[in-house]
Every structure is written in structure tokens, then in C-alpha cells.
Amino acid sequence: MFLLYLVRLIPSFTSAALASVYSENVSVEILENIPLAPLTTLKLGGPARHFVEAHSMSEVQQAVAFARERSLPLFVLGGGSNVVVSDKGWPGLVLKVAIGGIELRGDTTDGKLHLAVGAGESWDKFVSHAVMADCAGVECLSGIPGSVGGTPVQNVGAYGQEVSETISSVLALDLSDGQVREISNAGCGFKYRTSIFNSSERGRYIIVQVSFALTPGGKAHIVYDDLKEHFAGWQAHPSLAETREAVRHIRARKGMLIVQGDPDCQSVGSFFKNPVISAEQLADLKKRALQKGLTLPSYPGLQTQHKISAAWLVEQSGFSKGYGFGNVGISHKHALALVNRGGATASDLLTLRDEIQNRVEALWGLRLETEPVMV
Ligand SMILES: Cc1cc2nc3c(=O)[nH]c(=O)nc-3n(C[C@H](O)[C@H](O)[C@H](O)COP(=O)(O)OP(=O)(O)OC[C@H]3O[C@@H](n4cnc5c(N)ncnc54)[C@H](O)[C@@H]3O)c2cc1C
């Protein structure tokens, strides 16, 4: 029923570029009892009772209809690089969005290159395309694992860039009424590691396509200290390709690039967000640091707020790089990356999370917020 309802609604929302996606008529294959661990970068957690990989809008709709008709809870999976799957797994349907395609959109009157990218495309492959086409805007986001559709969810950011700076709109299936909506950049409510997709409207949308406005011939964005250090002494401004290589190199050094066989990257990247705190909280933290003979590193956050280094708080609470017990620990290369050293359970990992959160709170009066999604 729900599927028929959707099919009737879709034509009035199609854009020319997406017509081929909507007109496909494919019977989607729903699998049972599929292990989720191999589909995540943490490589832990239980199975999905039902699982489907959707390569088109039609398959997404069929999967949603399947879940609705059976009252199954639905979880949308991208590249699995920001999820912690529980040891019990997922009792309903896991829908992996695998819609591909990078399309050039006609309008270049604003001097930008407009691209519409399928949510299932690999993010780093898209960045590579943009850099090869000499288009600036996402070069500092090189090497972030996961799918294009996953990037707006937590407004991914790294090395001085955030994806919200280049996303022009997001096309999504609205599960509240079955309509396909084009959500403008402003409508996505982007903030630091936040959007409507992981806050006020969590679980409402399935992102099927993301549109970007890139700057052809634009300069590489070199503002972050690590990048400045990397290029220190260079006469010419680094190209986009050189910047991409530098970012990937720095990320590999920090265990923030997926490298086969490196246990330090069996993680979700940073497990904790950098706290954004008020002036009063900052004053309190500075006082606590002073009492311990330490200086608090800080940098200006949004307007009246201050962003604090979560890595510093973790390390100053006795959790150094390489810390761990049994199968879980902290990466040897990055204090914020909790890693599965092999054979860990989600429960092991969450015990370590609790230990870190509790000790940081006891010593610094701040509860660290976690970044990944608990499934
Ligand atoms: C080694 C490593 C380094 C990392 N470095 C960074 C970094 O520098 N900066 C940063 O911001 N993040 C970083 N991350 C985190 C992660 O890569 C990003 O958050 C990524 O964008 C997640 O995308 P994904 O496709 O893997 O999403 P998943 O992990 O599959 O899902 C994450 C969330 O997004 C939702 N979601 C995914 N796809 C869709 C969709 N199509 N529609 C609706 N909801 C969807 C899921 O339901 C879930 O809630 C890193 C992770 C790792 C493992």
C-alpha cells in the first residue's frame, strides 16, 4: 500500500536529472540474518534480521514498503564508518543506500560547478573526482571514509573545511509522508557535527542524492596548522592535488585513513566531539587546568562559544594513545579513536567509552558527547 502511495506521488517531484532513477522498476532482494560487522569500519556488532542494498530510488521505496508492511524498525546504513552496531544486531530492516552516479548540473552562471551525486557513492572517490577536475571546496575532506549520503548527516569536517560549505541541497525521501523533498543548504540546519538529519529530524529522511557547488580553478584551503606545517617553505600555493595528498598523508599518520591491516584505523574516527562550551564553562576549565599546572589549549568557536580539544581532555585524564585492555583500546596514533583490536564486542567498546566519559567528567566537569550513531 505504502509503495503504491509513493509511486503515485513521485512523478510530481522528479527533476529531469533523476527521471531515470525513478522510472526503474526493479524487484529488490531482501536478505535475512546478515552480519553487519563487515559492513562497518569498527568490525563489530551483531546481524540485521533483514537487509537490503538499494541501488535506485525504486529499490529504496520497495524496502521502505517492506518494513512498513511488517512494522519493522528501519535503519539506514551508508558506509558504516560512523556507527556502533550493538551485539544483538538490528531487529528490523537495515537499508544500505547504494545509489551511485555523479551528474553535472547545467547551471554555471554563478561561476560554480554544480554536481549531483548519488548518496551511495564513496565520499573519497567523489573528492578525488573534484580534485582531478580542478574544483576547490572539498580537498581538505580527502580520506574521510563512508558514503556521500552520510556526509550531510553529521556535517563532516576536517582540516579547516566542512561539507556544509559546498552542499547546495540534499534530495531525500521523507518518511513522514512519502514525498521526495529537495532540502536547501539552509534547511539542513548545519552546525558543528550537526544537521537536522542527526538532531531535530533524526530518522525522518533517507538521503538519495547530494548536490554540491564547487569552485573551478579555486585555491586550495590551507588554514589548518597541520597543513601549514606540511607546506612550510613552499614558494607556490599548493595545488588541490598536492593538498589532497598532504591531507591523506597526515590522516594516515594519525590512523584516520582506512589502511588495510592497520588495527589503529578499525574505528569510527573520532569517538568524541570537541565540546563547544560557554564562557563560564571555559573559565571553570581554565581554573581546573591551572590547579593541575596545565594550560588549556582553546580556539574560538562559534560567536560566543569556545571549542575545546576533546583529545586534550582525554589525554589529561590518564588515557594516553595506545591505552587499552583486551580487545579494545585507544589508537596508538590518535587519542580520540577507540579501536577494535580484533574480536571486540560492542559491549567491550562501550565499557571503554563509559570509563573515559566518567573520568573526564569527574576531573574536568564536562561530559564528552559521542560522535558515532548507536545502532
Ligand atoms: C578512520 C575514520 C576517520 C574519520 N574521519 C572523519 C573526519 O575527519 N571528519 C568527520 O566529520 N568524520 C570522520 N569520520 C566519521 C565518518 O567517516 C563520517 O561521519 C561519514 O560521513 C559517515 O558516513 P557513512 O556513509 O559511513 O555513514 P554511516 O556510518 O553508515 O551512518 C552514519 C549515520 O548517517 C546515517 N546515514 C548514512 N547514510 C544515510 C542516508 N543515505 N540517508 C540518511 N541517513 C544516512 C545513518 O543512519 C547513521 O545515522 C571518520 C571515520 C573513520 C572510520
Q: 228-250, pLDDT tens digit by residue?
A: 999 999 999 999 999 999 999 99
Task: Compute the distance between CA of residue 212 and CA of residue 123 in angstroms, rounded to an integer.
Answer: 12
Catalytic positions are: 193, 270, 371
**What is the predicted pLDDT for the residue at 300?**
52
pTM of the model: 0.89
Query: What number is the average pLDDT over the span 78-96?
Result: 98
**What is the predicted pLDDT for the residue at 23?**
36
Q: Inform me whether the pLDDT recorded for 4 exceeds 50.
A: no
**What is the predicted pLDDT for the residue at 26?**
46
The letter for the amino acid at 173 is L
**What is the predicted pLDDT for the residue at 304?**
53
Q: Which of 50, 60, 13 is nearest to 175 (CA)?
A: 60
**What is the predicted pLDDT for the residue at 326?**
86
323: left (phi over 0), alpha (psi -120 to 50) or beta: beta
Q: Are strands 306-308 and 167-174 parallel, antiparallel or unpaired?
A: unpaired
Indicate which atom in ligand 1 lies nearest the CA of residue 83.
Answer: 29
Average per-residue pLDDT for the chain: 89
Q: Inform me whether the pLDDT recorded for 5 exceeds 80.
A: no
Q: Which of 152, 171, 148 is nearest to 163 (CA)?
A: 152
- Residue 109: pLDDT band by 50, 70, 90 thresholds? confident
Q: Which of 276, 286, 121 is nearest to 208 (CA)?
A: 121
Q: Inform me whether the pLDDT recorded for 22 exceeds 80.
A: no
Task: Compute the distance between CA of residue 206 and CA of residue 97 in angstroms, rounded to an integer.
Answer: 8
**What is the predicted pLDDT for the residue at 279?**
85
Instruction: Provide the grid cell at 331.
Output: 589508537
Query: What number is the average pLDDT over the span 333-359?
Result: 96
Give me the residue label for grid cell 520497495: 62
Task: Compute the distance between CA of residue 165 and CA of residue 153 in angstroms, rounded to an integer.
Answer: 14
pLDDT digits (tens, 9 = 90+) for 119-139: 999 999 999 999 999 999 999
Ligand 1 contact, 89 CB (< 6 A):
no
Ligand 1 contact, 149 CB (< 6 A):
yes
**What is the predicted pLDDT for the residue at 30?**
95
Instruction: Provide the grid cell at 147.
Output: 558514503
Task: Compute the distance between CA of residue 252 and CA of residue 275 in angstroms, rounded to an integer.
Answer: 25
269 in Cβ contact with 256 (< 8 Å)? yes
How close is the Cα of 25 to the center of ligand 1, in Å?
Answer: 29
Query: What number is the average pLDDT over the span 150-167?
Result: 96
Instruction: Provide the grid cell at 42.
Output: 569498527
96 in Cβ contact with 51 (< 8 Å)? yes
How close is the Cα of 79 to the center of ligand 1, in Å?
Answer: 7
Q: For the chain, percent helix, then strand, then coil, each to nearest 5? A: 30, 25, 45
Most ligand 1 atoms within 8 A of CB, residue of 64, 82, 95, 266 to mutate: 82
Query: What number is the average pLDDT over the span 307-326?
Result: 92
| Burial class of 204 by CB neighbour count within 10 A (0 to 12, 13 to 18, 19+) | middle
Most ligand 1 atoms within 8 A of CB, residue of 43, 51, 81 to mutate: 81
Residue nearest atom 51 of ligand 1, based on CA coordinates: 269
Q: Inform me whether the pLDDT recorded for 39 exceeds 50.
A: yes
Task: Compute the distance between CA of residue 105 and CA of residue 115 in angstroms, rounded to an integer.
Answer: 5
214 in Cβ contact with 137 (< 8 Å)? yes
Ligand 1 contact, 207 CB (< 6 A):
yes
CA atoms lying within 13 Å on the CB side of residue 84: 24
- Residue 334: pLDDT band by 50, 70, 90 thresholds? very high
Number of Cβ within a 10 Å radius of residue 52: 24
Give me the residue label for grid cell 576533546: 310
Rg of the chain in Å (alpha carbons): 21
Q: Where are the beta strands (DSSP E) in the chain?
A: 31-35, 47-54, 74-77, 83-84, 90-97, 102-105, 113-118, 135-136, 157-158, 161-162, 167-174, 180-184, 205-216, 276-277, 298-300, 306-308, 324-325, 328-330, 338-340, 373-374
Most ligand 1 atoms within 8 A of CB, residue of 90, 144, 267 to mutate: 144
Q: Inform me whether the pLDDT recorded for 261 exceeds 90.
A: no
Long-range pairs of 295-301 with CB within 8 A, sequence gap ≥ 24? 301/192, 301/276
- Residue 298: pLDDT band by 50, 70, 90 thresholds? low
Q: Inform me whether the pLDDT recorded for 305 exceeds 50.
A: yes
Task: Compute the distance between CA of residue 50 and CA of residue 201 in angstroms, rounded to an integer.
Answer: 24
Task: Compute the distance between CA of residue 284 and CA of residue 286 in angstroms, rounded to an integer.
Answer: 5
**What is the predicted pLDDT for the residue at 105?**
87
- Residue 83: pLDDT band by 50, 70, 90 thresholds? very high
